[in-house]
Structure 1
Amino acid sequence: MGEDAAVSEYVKKLLFLMEYGVSYTACALMQNLGLKLEETFHKYYVNPPITAGLVEMIVPDKPPSWSQRYVRRGRYRSL
């Protein structure tokens, strides 16, 4: 089973928007993805790549922190 099969279309969209090593706020990512609901953003776009090690939170102990930022870390070869 390849990496492509394990990565949803939501995650592919997120990773396509994120430059490797650059941090982004949830607001900036949601705006670029055209999302309005934070719950949808976290459930489908952010939590899966965090679990897979493709994205990291800058403040991992405080996920809902106003200063939370997300950074693309892991390698995803299809991008």
Structure 2
Amino acid sequence: MEAYKFKTKVSADGTIVVPEGFDVKNKEVEVIILDEIKQSEQRKSMKSFLDKYSGILKGMDPDKAKEEYFKEKHGL
């Protein structure tokens, strides 16, 4: 199966226009629709994620934490 990628806009009546040069007439196709997030919304969500979780592992030794977890899990 060949894959093509292009950007287009869904019209007000719900029609998707395939650019010229793509011969998809009478072919079965799989359509994946991605709703693009505006750049400012993406930055805002990333900033809120970083604000929430930054520093959560600061001053922690991951290897020591793994060791303690396995000791507790296996009753050692």
Q: Normalization by structure 2: what TM-score?
A: 0.26
In our comparison, the structure showing a higher alpha carbon Rg is 2
Higher helix share: 1
Higher strand share: 1
